[in-house]
Structure 1
């Protein structure tokens, strides 16, 4: 390790530690000021200075395909400005987008050493550990718990958001981490003590996720677990069925099962999904869970609520589903009426009142309200062409990941790739019900971690094999 590290290394190290930890945001006039707003320009300036002084080199990561995808969406977004009713939010949206692109380009192309990557992992790991521990402390002591969206919950004190401002954002952050810690515990470590310690950290994040009471995140977590098993079936299952690991899973499942409102919230999640998929699905899963269709008994929720309470919960969940679907319909209508270049990047909220006034059936009682779907937001603001270009970014992103997955022979590299595939999938799925891609703190973490992980795995292919832990 060199005696004097490049400025870029220290700037990235600071970003990995501070961005998850620091939710503080203020404004200097119209300009926002937050950790990522300070640190992304700092990383950019450091990289330019280091490159000009030859303190850093670029690797041979094939950046061109995703650069084309990034550029295509940017061009369409700029063209959409001709339809923008307000330029201020449009310019801010474009600036944020460019900041993510520049950040990803730097961390995926700068040639860091293996020791520097190890320090990056330690910095982010420590930050994530503090965030997770604070989430548990927050719930135990009732510190600034979020009380929004607590319908159908009777026992929970509130929803945990830790340092990520909103429970939905925090749930997505935790879901990014969960596959990595699960794979470290089950697949990577060989010593029982290291496995159990890492599994305890994994369990802490699972408990945090439950305490956000974000139903979409619970479903996404199960999907991420399924991806992990599908991508590493023999290795994962062989290690997971060892006695101490089986016991660990059983203990965690027992704890989760008896946590406040887990059973009723699970029922509510299944019921909500059924209502979204089909309004006329007879004998559905949720009905069977509750012993529905007038049957006596039979549902594992029968002990949790009587018929009147269940009917009340279903009515509340129905209202929530109707509101969410109405928001999606608003985004869809906006996109259909502006199919080529949308209403202008960043202008969904600006035009929201106009559309709910024009179509009263879309009005849910607010002058402005998020569409709660990142893809519909993009489509409404930049049209179908913009949506296609935007989705293409993530298609190319996954093409990289699966290429790295197939090329990885090192156990650690394979683990990192699978964790990133599963964690990213949870992030993209949760964007179907939230605008997480447009949350700067969260999206910065996504592209920062993705770029570093992809570069590490790519560069590892050119290095001699390292001894495994």
Structure 2
């Protein structure tokens, strides 16, 4: 019996549902096996078969600029192999990169119907709901909570990672989705019950984000929220100031404020920002250790309690470790400015550099740089970093063009949510290697491609069709 929908449609449906939910990963020899490793080839084969049989058609979205950027970085990465000590991680890195490129180009070019896009949104929404509810359940019942970083937490049971393996990865996923959830809740749906139900899902995600205890993600969420507010058209705002919405925000903020360790962790986040940013500004005189309760810092102008001093000392050690990792990546890039050390070879060469520069050693023979951009620069040089950043510059040019051309409420909300969510993703890559996490990056390019194609294909439809 002939299927009513093209194979590509079903492959996208499965990908949207399974990739976020299934974190299981194993190896067949040296080859990894996970949901995204299965689904991306499956989707690619489905698209090739459907296109050959004329079961799908392509839209007129211009992919040439970003395709050229993808190709340029790939060529530079391949040339960087001449500097690689180990080819195995290099080959894996290139394979992952190509899989994201192919995935994005397929979903952004295939012409799906409006009904199919609605089905995609519902399936992804169901996956989002399951992930969020499981995160709450995980914390309440203490199911496989992550204990890394608990040295700074006194009340929390642990850190939630739900189905995204690591609290930092999960926090980034949450921030990617949260702007769209709040926009749907407060400015798209007009029915009070629909608004409150969507706001409840938004609230679940905010609570999950708190329970990851990822300070950078908290800051990114606030930044994403501010960006979203700045982008919202004025005629949308009137829908956001209804009494039940304002009351919902008050209740959510109250719940968050009294959650375990929120106040101390927030103070720690602000202190960490002050340590990293303010002390590096020109004219900042002192570099006294705040943990001793002496001069020089904004947060040490008042007498401190013993507990606060201990928290500051802990935060200071964490900041020093993170900055040291960044310095290691910078040194590696500076000493290999043209081609880097070879794509995928940062960890392979890490021990060489901490041995050469003992002040960079933090007790490990291998350690992530915790900054995607420094990793790219260290592995492919300054030229590779420039080409890599060009991909995301073009990506944002696409989004901004769609923002100004969106002709209806739903399209506007989708593109604003994507702009704000993607911004949090890019910012969090300053303190983590999220771009190199297969599950997370697959979600980013899959959802981004579908959202861009949807807004592009619907930009000329009247607003009355999508209210």
CA contact (8 A) 2:329 2:374 kept: yes
SS in 2 for 1:467: helix
SS in 2 for 1:26: strand
Are the structure 2 counterparts of residues 467 and 389 from structure 1 closer, same or farther at C-alpha, using a change threshold of 3 Å? same
Q: Does 1:177 align with 2:180?
A: no
Are the structure 2 counterparts of residues 293 and 433 from structure 1 closer, same or farther at C-alpha, using a change threshold of 3 Å? closer
Query: In the TM superposition, what are the counterparts of 1:21-100 in structure 2 within 5 Å?
Result: 21-100=21-100
Counterparts of 2:236 and 2:203, CA distance in 1: 17
Tell me the equivalent position of 1:129: 129
Query: In the TM superposition, what are the counterparts of 1:17-416 in structure 2 within 5 Å?
Result: 17-232=17-232, 234-279=234-279, 280=284, 292-293=299-300, 295=302, 307-416=305-414
Q: Deviations over 1:356-410 (max 9, x none)?
A: 0000000001010000000000000000000000000000000000000000011
- Cα offset for 1:292? 4.8
Q: Deviations over 1:238-289 (max 9, x none)?
A: 23222111111100000000000000000000000110113357899x999x
Q: Deviations over 1:13-52 (max 9, x none)?
A: 0000000000000000000000000000000000000000
- Cα offset for 1:349? 0.1
- Contiguous gaps of at least 5 residues in structure 2: none
CA contact (8 A) 1:220 1:430 kept: yes
Q: Deviations over 1:175-224 (max 9, x none)?
A: 01100010001100111111111111100000000000000000000011
CA contact (8 A) 1:283 1:293 kept: no
Counterparts of 2:300 and 2:374, CA distance in 1: 35
- TM-score scaled by structure 2? 0.95
Counterparts of 1:229 and 1:210, CA distance in 2: 21
- Cα offset for 1:308? 1.0
Tell me the equivalent position of 1:430: 428
SS in 2 for 1:32: strand
Number of corresponding residues: 457
Counterparts of 1:323 and 1:250, CA distance in 2: 37
Counterparts of 1:153 and 1:291, CA distance in 2: 23
SS in 1 for 2:253: helix
CA contact (8 A) 1:187 1:235 kept: no
Q: Deviations over 1:52-92 (max 9, x none)?
A: 01111111010000001101100100000000000000000
Are the structure 2 counterparts of residues 169 and 453 from structure 1 closer, same or farther at C-alpha, using a change threshold of 3 Å? same
SS in 2 for 1:391: helix
CA contact (8 A) 1:343 1:382 kept: yes
SS in 2 for 1:148: coil
Counterparts of 1:15 and 1:408, CA distance in 2: 27
Q: Deviations over 1:424-444 (max 9, x none)?
A: 000000000000000000000
SS in 1 for 2:32: strand
- Cα offset for 1:461? 2.1
- Cα offset for 1:468? 3.5
Decide which moves more: 275-284 or 126-135: 275-284
- Cα offset for 1:465? 5.0
- TM-score scaled by structure 1? 0.95
Q: Deviations over 1:74-123 (max 9, x none)?
A: 01000000000000000000000000000001000001011110110111
Counterparts of 2:88 and 2:14, CA distance in 1: 30
CA contact (8 A) 2:407 2:460 kept: no
CA contact (8 A) 2:408 2:461 kept: no
Counterparts of 1:278 and 1:402, CA distance in 2: 32
Decide which moves more: 90-99 or 232-241: 232-241
Q: Deviations over 1:304-347 (max 9, x none)?
A: xx611111111110000000000000000000000001000000
- Cα offset for 1:462? 4.3
SS in 1 for 2:151: coil
- Cα offset for 1:171? 0.2
- Contiguous gaps of at least 5 residues in structure 1: 297-305
Runs of 4 or more, structure 1, over 6 Å off, are 281-284
Tell me the equivalent position of 1:301: none
Counterparts of 2:228 and 2:298, CA distance in 1: 33
CA contact (8 A) 1:145 1:158 kept: yes
CA contact (8 A) 2:139 2:158 kept: yes
Decide which moves more: 366-375 or 306-315: 306-315
